[in-house]
C-alpha cells in the first residue's frame, strides 16, 4: 500500500448503498494459535483459511526462526511441520512480533519454559504496550523475563521446567490466559487460570483439539502437562472483527443489504451484535455449522435507523476489538451512546478512546472521552437519511475533512466506515497497518460499494 509521499493514506467518500455477499479474511486469533500449536505438535498440521496478515505472518516467521518448517502451498494455506513440545531451538537475534500483542504475549508464554534464551521485540506501537500482565504470572511459574518498565523488548531466559500455578487474572485478557496455559505445557503440575470475566477460549478449544489434557468452562481453565500434542487440521473461520466494519457500514448507509459468509461467531467475540441490536440494527444470523471447531454463521445485515444506547459493561470483553466500529455507529445514530468499563481500550494498538474521539471530532461528531469509555451524541444520520438521498443533502452527515488513524488498523477502517456517511471527502492518514489484520480491505470494501481509494 503506497500512496504518494510518506505513510499511505486513504481518501474515503460517500459511496453507494452497500450490496452483495462477501467473505472476509481468516480469524487473526485463531490463525496465530493454529501455527503455534502446530509447531509444538508431533506431525504435520494443515491450516486453511490462515490470515495472510502481517501479524500472523510475523508469528509464523518467528516459529520458522525457532526451527519449525512451515510451507505455504497456496493463499491462506500453511503446512506446519511440528517439532514436538521439546523440539524448538534457539534463534539468532531478536524475534520481531511486528504490531501483534497476541503474537508477543502468547510467544512469551510458549518460550518461558524453553531451554534457551529468546528476545521478543515489536514495532513502535507494540513497544508501548503493557507486558507486565504476562511477565508477572510467568515469573510466578519460575520464568525469568527481563524488560524495562514492563515494556518490550522481552528478554526471556532459558528455563527447563516451570512450576504449576493457580492464577487469578486481574484483567479479562485472552492473551494473558493463553500465555499462562502455553507455559503450563512446560510446568511440573496442573496450571489453572481464573478470569474476572470470560474471554475468548480459542486456546483452550485448540489445545483440546491437539490432544492436550485440559478442562475449561467460561472463566476458568485447567491444563495438566505431560501429553504430547498431535497434529491436526485447522480450517480458520472468517474473522468476526473484520466482518464488524461491514456490519456497521451496512447498518448506517441507507438502502444497504449485505451478507457476510461463514463468519466465526464464538459467543466470546460477538458482543457487537448485541450492542448493535440494542441500537436497532437489522442483523440476522444464519448458523452454517462448525469450522475449525468454531461455530460459523452467515450474517445478513440491512440498513436501519440506529438509536443511541448504554452499552452493558458485561458486553465489553465480548466486543473488545469492535469499539472503534461501535463509536462510528454511535456518532451517526439518533441520541446518546454511553460506553463504560472499557479502560482496556487505552492499551490496544493505540489509545482507542482518545484516537477515535480525535478522529470522529475532526469530522464534526460530538464525543466526550471518559477514563474508561466515551459519551457519544449521535448526529441522527441514520434516522434522517432516506434511501437514495444524495450525500451532499443528507442531514446528520458528518463533515468531510481529515482524520488520523495513528497507525491503528481498526481505527483506519472504522474511520473509513464513518466517512461513508460524511457530506464530503475524508482523508484518513496512516493506514499502512490495515495490512496487519485485513489485507485488501479497501478493494473488498470498494467491491460492495464503499467510496475508498489510496490517496
Ligand atoms: C486477542 C485478545 C484480545 C484482543 C486481541 C486478540 C487474542 O486482547 O483485543 O485483538 O487473540 O487472544 P486482550 O487479551 O489483551 O484483551
Encode pLDDT of 297-339 as tens digits.
999 999 999 999 999 999 999 999 999 999 999 999 999 999 9
Q: What is the C-alpha separation between 98 and 227, in angstroms, rounded?
A: 32
Q: Are residues 254 and 149 in the same domain?
A: no
Q: Are residues 19 and 37 in the same domain?
A: no
Q: What is the C-alpha separation between 75 and 395, in angstroms, rounded?
A: 44
Give domain status of residue 340, yes or no.
yes
Q: What percent of the chain has pLDDT over 70?
A: 96
Q: Are residues 295 and 443 in the same domain?
A: yes
Catalytic residue among 321, 408, 429, 430: 321
Give domain status of residue 4, yes or no.
no
Which ligand 1 atom is at minimum distance from the Cα of 241? 10
pTM of this prediction?
0.97
Q: Whose CA is nearest to atom 15 of ligand 1?
A: 173
Q: What pLDDT, on a 0 to 100 scale, did the predictor assign at position 7?
A: 86
Residue 301 grid cell: 445485515
The answer on pLDDT for 388 being more than 50 is no
Rg for the chain (alpha carbons), in Å? 22
Mutate to test the pocket of ligand 1, among 175, 221, 269 (most ligand atoms within 8 A of CB): 175
Q: What is the C-alpha separation between 288 and 198, in angstroms, rounded?
A: 24
Give domain status of residue 170, yes or no.
yes
Q: Are residues 125 and 212 in the same domain?
A: yes
Q: What pLDDT, on a 0 to 100 scale, did the predictor assign at position 234?
A: 98
pLDDT digits 0-9 by tens, 146-160? 999 999 999 999 999
Give domain status of residue 2, yes or no.
no
- 173 lies in which domain range? 28-235
Q: Which of 201, 235, 269 is the last residue of a domain?
A: 235
Q: What is the CATH number of the domain that holds 320?
A: 3.65.10.10
Instruction: Give the total residue count for the chain.
Output: 455
**Three-state secondary structure call for residue 190:** coil
Please confirm, yes or no, whether 321 is among the known catalytic residues.
Answer: yes
Mutate to test the pocket of ligand 1, among 320, 326, 349, 436 (most ligand atoms within 8 A of CB): 320
Q: Are residues 361 and 273 in the same domain?
A: yes
Residue 425 grid cell: 471527502
Give domain status of residue 44, yes or no.
yes
The answer on pLDDT for 417 being more than 70 is yes
Q: What pLDDT, on a 0 to 100 scale, did the predictor assign at position 3?
A: 40
Ligand 1 centroid – CA 19 distance (Å):
31
Q: What pLDDT, on a 0 to 100 scale, did the predictor assign at position 15?
A: 86
Ligand 1 centroid – CA 173 distance (Å):
6
Q: Is 195 in the pocket of ligand 1 (CB under 6 A)?
A: no
Q: Are 306 and 378 in contact (CB under 8 A)?
A: yes
Give domain status of residue 450, yes or no.
yes
Q: Are 303 and 382 in contact (CB under 8 A)?
A: yes
pLDDT digits 0-9 by tens, 418-437? 999 999 999 999 999 999 99
Q: Are residues 48 and 112 in the same domain?
A: yes
Q: Which of 202, 218, 235 is the last residue of a domain?
A: 235
pLDDT digits 0-9 by tens, 263-289? 999 999 999 999 999 999 999 999 999
Strands 401-404 and 426-429: parallel
Q: Are residues 226 and 242 in the same domain?
A: no
Q: What is the C-alpha separation between 164 and 246, in angstroms, rounded?
A: 43
Q: Which of 235, 269, 293 is the last residue of a domain?
A: 235
Q: What pLDDT, on a 0 to 100 scale, did the predictor assign at position 2?
A: 40
Average pLDDT over residues 91-102: 98
Ligand 1 centroid – CA 102 distance (Å):
6
Q: Are residues 257 and 194 in the same domain?
A: no
Q: Are residues 285 and 212 in the same domain?
A: no
Give domain status of residue 267, yes or no.
yes
Sequence-ordered list of residues with C-beta below 8 angstroms from that of 218, at least 6 positions apart, any chain: 198, 201
Q: Are residues 310 and 181 in the same domain?
A: no
Residue 46 grid cell: 494443515
The number of folded domains in the chain is 2
Average pLDDT over residues 188-215: 98
Q: Are residues 62 and 22 in the same domain?
A: no
Q: What is the C-alpha separation between 8 and 434, in angstroms, rounded?
A: 10
Q: Is 437 in the pocket of ligand 1 (CB under 6 A)?
A: no
Ligand 1 centroid – CA 340 distance (Å):
19
Q: What is the C-alpha separation between 432 and 326, in angstroms, rounded?
A: 22
Q: Are residues 186 and 111 in the same domain?
A: yes
Q: What pLDDT, on a 0 to 100 scale, did the predictor assign at position 6?
A: 73
Q: Are 178 and 37 in contact (CB under 8 A)?
A: no
Give domain status of residue 290, yes or no.
yes
Amino acid at each position: 500500500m503506497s500512496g504518494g509521499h510518506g505513510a499511505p493514506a486513504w481518501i474515503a467518500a460517500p459511496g453507494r448503498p452497500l450490496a452483495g455477499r462477501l467473505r472476509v479474511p481468516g480469524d487473526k486469533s485463531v490463525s496465530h494459535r493454529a501455527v503455534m500449536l502446530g509447531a509444538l505438535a508431533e506431525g504435520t498440521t494443515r491450516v486453511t483459511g490462515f490470515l495472510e496478515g502481517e501479524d500472523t505472518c510475523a508469528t509464523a516467521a518467528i516459529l520458522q526462526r525457532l526451527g519449525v518448517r512451515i510451507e505455504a502451498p497456496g493463499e491462506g494455506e500453511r503446512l506446519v511441520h511440528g517439532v514436538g513440545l521439546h523440539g524448538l531451538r534457539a534463534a539468532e537475534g531478536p524475534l520481531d512480533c511486528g504490531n501483534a500483542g497476541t503474537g508477543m504475549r502468547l510467544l512469551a508464554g510458549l518460550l518461558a519454559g524453553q531451554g534457551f534464551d529468546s528476545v521478543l521485540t515489536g514495532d513502535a506501537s507494540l513497544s508501548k504496550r503493557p507486558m507486565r500482565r504476562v511477565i508477572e504470572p510467568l515469573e510466578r511459574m519460575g520464568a525469568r523475563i527481563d524488560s524495562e518498565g514492563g515494556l518490550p523488548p522481552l528478554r526471556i531466559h532459558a528455563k527447563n521446567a516451570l512450576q504449576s500455578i493457580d492464577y487469578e487474572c486481574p484483567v479479562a485478557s485472552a492473551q494473558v490466559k493463553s500465555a499462562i496455559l502455553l507455559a503450563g505445557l512446560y510446568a511440573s503440575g496442573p496450571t489453572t487460570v481464573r478470569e474476572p470475566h470470560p474471554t475468548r477460549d480459542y486456546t483452550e478449544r485448540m489445545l483440546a483439539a491437539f490432544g492436550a489434557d485440559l478442562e475449561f468452562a467460561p472463566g476458568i481453565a485447567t491444563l495438566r502437562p505431560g501429553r504430547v500434542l498431535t497434529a491436526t487440521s485447522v480450517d480458520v473461520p472468517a474473522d468476526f472483527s473484520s466482518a464488524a466494519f461491514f456490519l456497521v457500514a451496512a447498518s448506517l448507509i441507507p438502502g444497504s443489504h449485505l451478507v457476510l459468509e461463514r463468519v466465526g461467531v464464538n459467543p466470546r467475540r460477538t458482543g457487537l451484535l448485541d450492542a448493535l441490536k440494542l441500537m436497532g440494527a437489522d442483523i440476522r444470523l444464519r448458523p452454517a455449522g462448525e469450522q475449525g471447531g468454531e461455530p460459523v454463521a452467515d450474517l445478513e445485515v440491512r440498513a436501519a435507523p440506529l438509536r443511541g444506547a448504554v452499552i452493558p459493561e458485561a458486553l465489553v470483553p465480548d466486543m473488545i476489538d469492535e469499539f472503534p466500529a461501535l463509536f462510528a455507529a454511535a456518532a451517526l445514530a439518533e441520541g446518546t451512546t454511553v460506553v463504560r468499563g472499557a479502560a482496556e481500550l487505552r492499551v490496544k494498538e493505540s489509545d482507542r478512546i482518545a484516537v477515535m474521539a480525535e478522529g470522529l471530532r475532526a469530522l464534526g461528531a460530538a464525543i466526550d472521552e471518559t477514563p474508561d469509555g466515551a459519551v457519544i451524541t449521535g448526529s441522527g444520520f441514520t434516522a434522517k437519511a432516506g434511501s437514495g438521498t444524495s450525500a451532499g443533502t443528507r442531514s446528520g452527515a458528518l463533515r468531510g475533512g481529515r482524520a488520523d488513524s495513528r497507525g491503528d488498523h481498526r481505527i483506519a477502517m472504522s474511520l473509513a466506515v464513518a466517512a461513508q456517511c460524511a457530506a464530503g471527502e475524508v482523508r484518513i492518514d496512516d493506514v499502512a497497518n490495515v495490512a496487519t489484520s485485513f489485507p485488501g480491505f479497501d478493494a473488498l470494501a470498494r467491491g460492495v460499494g464503499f467510496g475508498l481509494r489510496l490517496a
